[in-house]
Structure 1
């Protein structure tokens, strides 16, 4: 009897306790909810009457296919969930993660449903082992300002061909673009020009991207001020037309230690960097043919001669010292 009375007393105390989370401001609750994947965010509607519609007005949301047995069911869920959204256009953000094998039509449906809501920021990651290509519709949006595209290590090394269509990206409002572990162009391509329609692009990051076999990779962006290039395999030439470029960070050698990739050095072709303030160069693969690499490095320095501040890592300094020693010995 005493245990029963104690249990009753505890239940009454729990009921009397204030629901502090529900009493938080709606804006703060929406912010907390933005860290949940969308499936769990929708589930919060069952908590109470107050929570029933909060998820429909979150400022950003996380879409992850790992919560679903198939990508097709994930696509259906995205369509249904987004149809209930009341997201303010000016603050909308989407984190989209594909973790299962996905064919092009299914991914296209997901992307189209996301773009229908005029998102301003999209971070899309493909971690599937069997992923063939991003849909062409992904590369056209009038409202997108910030875009990150990435593949996982497994998909990157298993997928030998380009994972993007050969079209100019139509992002008139895009300001920042980050590409991670992406294959850009296929062997035998004469040139690739992706950013010519991104007329407001200011920050571009190419992180561990592979351009193996491509002859010329064009970066033509009139408003570009910050450029980062850290590649696994470079093309013959990276042609940069960016008259407002202020900051350049680059690794001057590729890093992939796998056949058929070769260790090509970064070679720039420019029309001049009149606005260049700072250059930060690193040598990602210090073991190389000194005699072949040294002239290429001197040519790169010549291309960057207008910069006000040049930062180089110790590996590059070592190349200069060893080369000078060899020249002196000879």
Structure 2
């Protein structure tokens, strides 16, 4: 709701209230006096079943719901009754364009015929965003006829859970810009290739693959217009999966889970500006950091011991680096990144509470190798680093203090260094003395930058 709309609504309500008071009574239905466009906007923000129920309020409201451009239908159980109700509602709908339709159904078994009928009726209403969420407890995944998507108005498609994509040949989805595939099942490698060949102007892609087999080994994404891509693969059978990403226009990449996979290849990512890589372990090829060498912003969280970092890569555009410090040998990766990022301006380290980690991890954490300082002070510390942040720092090892001290002593352009710690629980009040000592030690460090402001925070 815009400021102008709110102003008009307030003005109308004040006018209605004033005229009612002059007549000696107070109106009980001021909202009906609002402009139709404003009422439709309000209705688009509430559950569709409640929107349809407003038709019983008065003559003014009887057909108003039929013009709402965003509809959402959710049901548990009877697919026949659900299909009947949704079809009836869609056939009664009068808006020239259906901006968004969300269909969610949870059942023991879902007949794909009913889903196909619903999708056909929806696309006949010129739907722009279509969301289908099917949760089948016992039956097979529901096959969705890909021919249903050959409509020029479809701009966003989001498929979730037990949806089976069987794309035996490319179709036409030239208007599609956003595609979300979350937990869906694919017929095979060819279906994946045909799917992306069907949407040549795709710009935003989200792929979440669950811990079950979906019949795809080589997941090939060829999308010349793709700008953002998010990948999350939590499969337990990951060692048989390979990814090939051909997206020359890609600007943002997010990989949040990729474990025990045989191979990942990202071709020609020279336009990449920002990347997030987390929980990536035991990948067959070791050049994953080499694919993101053009980025300006980078967030890393993975086990350095299991990823070989390409020492020859220079991150010539990188100005913002965020790293998580709760994985083993994280400082080895930090040293490499500092040496390889000559223009780095912001360094942010993020830790997790040490007392929340497992006993096995704590043992490994204390026994891992020592930190080796760079032979020469990295160029970024001498010329560019202005901001240093360390969140949730607990410093369970001496090496962590050494890293902080090293940066303060060598970052000659540093303007601000912020250290934040977790709140101390009553049973761990003994940590107060440790933290006070830590603060005093940092205060005593002779900083390379005379203008560096040291800040301590409690989160």
TM-score, normalised by the number of residues in structure 1: 0.74
The CA RMSD measured in Å over matched residues stands at: 3.2
Equivalent-residue separation in structure 1 for 2:164 and 2:267 (angstroms): 30
Question: Where does structure 1 lack aligned partners over 5 or more consecutive residues?
Answer: 1-14, 156-161, 255-262, 287-292
Shift of 1:252: 4.8
Alignment partner of 1:112 is 2:109:
no
Alignment of 1:1-330 (within 5 A): 16-66=26-76, 70-89=78-97, 92-100=99-107, 101-129=109-137, 130=139, 132-136=141-145, 137-151=147-161, 163-167=164-168, 168=170, 170-185=172-187, 189=189, 192-193=192-193, 194-209=195-210, 214-233=216-235, 234=238, 236-254=241-259, 263-264=260-261, 267-283=263-279, 293=282, 296=284, 298-313=286-301, 315-317=302-304, 319=306, 322=329
Equivalent-residue separation in structure 2 for 1:196 and 1:176 (angstroms): 14
Which SS does the other structure have where 1:118 is aligned? coil
Tell me if the contact between 2:110 and 2:142 (Cα under 8 Å) persists in the aligned partners.
Answer: no
Q: May I ask how many residue pairs the two structures share in their alignment? A: 283
Shift of 1:26: 1.7
Structure showing greater relative contact order (alpha-carbon pairs closer than 8 Å, 6 or more residues apart)? 1
The 1:299/1:191 distance shift into structure 2, 3 A limit, reads farther
Which SS does the other structure have where 1:298 is aligned? coil
Shift of 1:47: 1.2
Tell me if the contact between 1:191 and 1:215 (Cα under 8 Å) persists in the aligned partners.
Answer: no
Tell me if the contact between 2:167 and 2:190 (Cα under 8 Å) persists in the aligned partners.
Answer: no
Tell me if the contact between 1:177 and 1:204 (Cα under 8 Å) persists in the aligned partners.
Answer: yes
Shift of 1:305: 3.7
Equivalent-residue separation in structure 2 for 1:299 and 1:175 (angstroms): 30
The 1:249/1:81 distance shift into structure 2, 3 A limit, reads same
Shift of 1:85: 1.4
- 1:308-330 Cα offsets, whole Å, 9 max, x none, are 443211x334646659878xxxx
Which SS does the other structure have where 2:167 is aligned? coil
TM-score, normalised by the number of residues in structure 2: 0.55
The 1:41/1:252 distance shift into structure 2, 3 A limit, reads closer
The 1:169/1:18 distance shift into structure 2, 3 A limit, reads same
Equivalent-residue separation in structure 2 for 1:51 and 1:192 (angstroms): 46
Equivalent-residue separation in structure 2 for 1:40 and 1:166 (angstroms): 37
Question: Where does structure 2 lack aligned partners over 5 or more consecutive residues?
Answer: 1-24, 308-327, 333-367, 370-459
